[in-house]
Structure 1
Amino acid sequence: MPLTVRCKLLLLFILLHAASAQSQQQAEPPECMQVIRLTLGAIPWTSASLTHLWSKKISRHLDDTSCIELSFKSARNFEQFIEAAIVGDFDIAHVPAHIASYLILHHGFTAIAQGEWDGDTLFVTRLDSTIESIDDSAKAIIAVPDPLALVTLFAKQFYASQPSAIPRYLEFSNHDAVLHALLEGQVDSGVILAPIYNGYSRVIKGKLRILQRVKTNTQGYLIARENIDPLSATAVIDSLSSFDIGTDLLWAKWLPISSNQVAQLHVHYAEYVKIINSKFGH
């Protein structure tokens, strides 16, 4: 039985994940007098299967380098994830910039780290498509991820600035679903993050092409809930900061974040925070 595109994507990710895990040296786990148990919320920007693999890799690294026992939770979509964060389901959350800003401003979360990775936004089409430019794609059906995803909000803002744009959007649950829809020919145009596109280059080769690459600040942020033990948050950051760069499709590097950078975050994403506010009544 031939593999579906979705199965091929998952199989490729598993193979790459296994290869990178084998390439890392096995460290002796630390001796712990006390284990810190925390829950990390992972925004559902990829499929549940890939998020599970990503979460397992982080948990294994923390087991090897710290006394932290990290459990993971996510949600069906961005709106339900934000609701879960508001009611206190997560001690720490990995979120995009606009959601980080919203939860910091309105629900007492604190920024503890920012990610560093290739977070460009790609406007993509099928190789055999008649679409040759952004103007052409603005007249087609455009596949985007979750309606509250940063890429989706950016894409809608981008196309709204095009004088001749008559956009029609088809919203999918996550970036993997957008890629799947493009490869299966359900749509001719889509917007996706560069790490996903690059990570599946073997599957994409000869099937998709990039119309335009836009530099965007789509790296993730780690935020901690109000009243979390500062030492626990510091322990998580210290351990994650030692994570190898470039050993995973969904990972790059965590960096410290200053109060000035947080202030700039709020300024830069104020418009998108207003959209989230409209959903939650602020």
Structure 2
Amino acid sequence: MESRTNLSRRRWMQSLMGLAIGGIAGVRAAEEAQPLRFGIQPFRTAEVLLTLHKGLLDTLAQALGRPLRFSTRPTYDAYTKALLAGEFDLAIMPPHVAVWLASRGDWELEAKYEVRLAALLVGRDAAPAPEAEALRGRRIALGDPDSIVSLVARETLDRLGLVPQRDFTLVLTASHGASMQVLANGSVDYAIVANTVYGQFRARYPSLQAVPFGLDVPHLMAAARRALPEALRTRFRAALLSFHETEAGRRFFADTGYRRFVPITEADFAEMAPFLPALDRRYASPPELSR
């Protein structure tokens, strides 16, 4: 027969174990209730980005069983630094930055928009001629200089032998959307923007006309921090790839022109490779990552 002392000790140990297990479960439940920080690159204002992506955010939150907290940053540079600093758990980011971060091992790339991303030269009333003489002396709006569209456009301007502020007036704006606005209100002669942003403005400004202004590249990519549980990253990827099958997805892709999410390929990595050395040089000493 077990002594009263041993029985008390066993009950005391069982209570401690119960408290420990309960504590672990409580911590896990608290972690699962924490919002996942979802970043979107600043190609439109924060308000427009949130409105545009609400259906996507709601669908992902349901699929992941976690609330999502959206945020962005005022510039592409600030956004890249926030990605490096671990300030987001999930993010939609420029393709060159996405491939660079994945190559570092910090992020896992889950999907990209199917439509290709291209720089367009946009004019009012008539399609502009993408030639040096047609652009000389003009005022041209360009969004954040660190966007992939701006990088592609600058390559085209270099090829045409056009130097900003010497051959034409470069008007830098906060985003592609802002460039479209200053063109529509007559503040500039032309704007260089992403093809999908141009498509989002066409219904409001049908007189705007556009021509290609450089090579097309892979579109924006969705990624998850590798510090997240693998099961959560798997659910995130599955929700993205099936999003076009939902009612919210059909509305989202009709509004944005992105078509759907598709897997990222080795060819995407190869296309972005020429852009990576510049990122290495610029962010040679990134902040320590939160793990």
TM-score range (shorter-chain normalised) is 0.7 to 0.9
Structure 2-normalised TM-score? 0.74
Q: Is the 8 A contact 1:134 1:212 kept in 2?
A: no
After superposition, the Cα gap between the structure-2 partners of 1:141 and 1:270, relative to the gap in structure 1 and judged at 3 Å, is farther
Q: Distance in 2 between matches of 1:128 and 1:113?
A: 36
Give the Cα separation in 1 of the matches to 2:43 and 2:65: 28
Larger CA Rg, structure 1 vs 2: 2
Cα RMSD over matched residues?
2.5
* Contact 2:34–2:66, Cα closer than 8 Å, also in 1: yes
- In the alignment, which residue of structure 1 is the partner of 2:110? 112
Amino acid at match of 1:254: F
- Where structure 1 has 5 or more consecutive residues not aligned to the other structure, the ranges are 1-33
Q: 1:210 to 1:228 in 2, by over 3 A?
A: same
**Paired position in structure 1 for 2:45:** 47
Aligned to 1:29: none
Distance change >3 Å, CA 240–CA 122, structure 1 → 2: same
Which structure shows the bigger proportion of residues in helix conformation?
2
Residues paired across the two proteins, number: 243
Whether 1:267 and 2:270 are equivalent positions in the alignment is: yes
The residue identity in structure 2 corresponding to 1:281 is A
Question: CA separation in 2, counterparts of 1:205 and 1:57?
Answer: 26
- Name the SS for the 2:170 alignment partner: strand
- Residue of structure 1 equivalent to 2:212: 212
Task: Identify which of 244, 254, 259 aligns with 2:261.
Answer: 254
2:284 matched to 1:281?
Answer: yes
Amino acid at match of 2:202: S
Cα offset for 1:72? Answer: 1.5
Deviations 1:101-120 (A, max 9, x none): 22223362221222212533
1:162-204 deviations in whole A, cap 9, x for unaligned? 2466354221111110000101111101111122212222221
Helix, strand or coil at the partner of 1:270: helix
TM-score w.r.t. the length of structure 1 is 0.76
- Residue 109 to residue 79, structure 1, CA distance change in 2 (3 Å): same
Task: Tell whether the 8 Å contact from 2:109 to 2:264 is kept in structure 1 after alignment.
Answer: yes
- Does the aligned pair in 2 maintain the 1:36–1:67 contact within 8 Å? no
Return the alpha-carbon distance in structure 1 between the equivalents of residues 217 and 211 of structure 2.
19
Selected match of 2:36 from 34, 38, 58: 38
Identity %: 19
Partner SS for 1:146: coil
Aligned to 1:88: 86
Residue 131 of structure 2: aligned partner: 134
The answer for the alignment partner of 1:180 in structure 2 is 181
Unaligned runs of 5+ in 2: 1-31, 286-291
Question: Could you tell me whether the CA contact under 8 Å between 2:40 and 2:92 is conserved in 1?
Answer: yes
